[in-house]
């Protein structure tokens, strides 16, 4: 059939050369690819943002957990130190009594030796627990460590110097369990 006969049979069908058909479809294909690529890029960007948000949430959660863990450990340590200092404070009157007993003169050497051994044992136990006696005699008065119960005028002693200790003070690390009761020279 010739072209003209085809036109006469179906007037709606127009014959377009093959080259024109290919030229028309190619430009249309590029916008379709761009149109299809745009939603994919948008979806990719959306997923990246979601991933970034989730990563930030994860990092915050990890930081919160780490802070919680550290805070809990610090609280446990504080409770342990508090309990230990309370237990030591309960034994300090025994220390004071042994110290008074050592200062008393006695004719019984076995008794004196027994009191000395008991005091030595108590000091070793306190030392193992990390409890140390607060140095006081001859030191400069420090209100963070000493409790001044008396003041005395003494030219031989320097200003604010501890000249007598009535009761020994103790500390556990940096925490004062009991202040040293002292006499201070003005």
- Domains of the chain in start order, with CATH, are 38-129 (3.90.20), 132-186 (2.30.22.10)
Sign of the Cα torsion 179, 180, 183, 185 reads negative
Of 93, 89, 95, 97, the residue nearest 176 (C-alpha): 89
Q: Are 150 and 184 in contact, with CB atoms under 8 Å apart?
A: yes
3-state secondary structure 152-182: ECCCCCCCCEEEEEEECCEEECCEEEECEEE
pTM attached to this predicted model: 0.62
Q: Within 13 Å of residue 178, how many CA atoms lie on the same side as its CB?
A: 21
The confidence band for 72, taking pLDDT boundaries of 50, 70 and 90, is very high
The pLDDT value given to residue 34: 59
Q: Which of 153, 142, 155 is nearest to 182 (CA)?
A: 142
Q: Is there a contact between 186 and 163 (Cβ–Cβ < 8 Å)?
A: no
Local confidence band at 155 (pLDDT 50, 70, 90 cut-offs):
confident
* pLDDT the model gives residue 47: 95
The residue with tokens 């300090």 is 92
- The mean pLDDT value of the chain amounts to 85
Two structure tokens written together for 183: 């006499």
């Amino acid at each position: 059939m010739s072209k003209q006969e085809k036109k006469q049979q179906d007037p709606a069908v127009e014959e377009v050369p093959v080259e024109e058909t290919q030229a028309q479809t190619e430009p249309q294909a590029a916008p379709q690819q761009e149109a299809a690529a745009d939603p994919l890029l948008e979806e990719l960007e959306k997923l990246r943002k979601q991933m970034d948000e989730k990563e930030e949430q994860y990092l915050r959660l990890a930081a919160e957990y780490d802070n919680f863990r550290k805070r809990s450990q610090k609280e446990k340590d504080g409770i342990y130190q508090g309990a230990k200092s309370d237990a030591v404070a309960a034994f300090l009157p025994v220390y004071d009594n042994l110290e008074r007993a050592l200062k008393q003169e006695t004719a019984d050497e076995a008794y004196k030796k027994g009191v000395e051994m008991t005091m030595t044992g108590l000091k070793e136990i306190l030392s193992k627990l990390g409890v140390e006696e607060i140095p006081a005699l001859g030191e400069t008065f420090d209100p963070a460590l000493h409790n001044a119960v008396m003041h005395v005028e003494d030219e031989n002693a320097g200003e604010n110097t501890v000249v007598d200790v009535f009761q020994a003070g103790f500390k556990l690390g940096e925490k004062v369990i009991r202040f040293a009761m002292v006499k201070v020279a003005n």
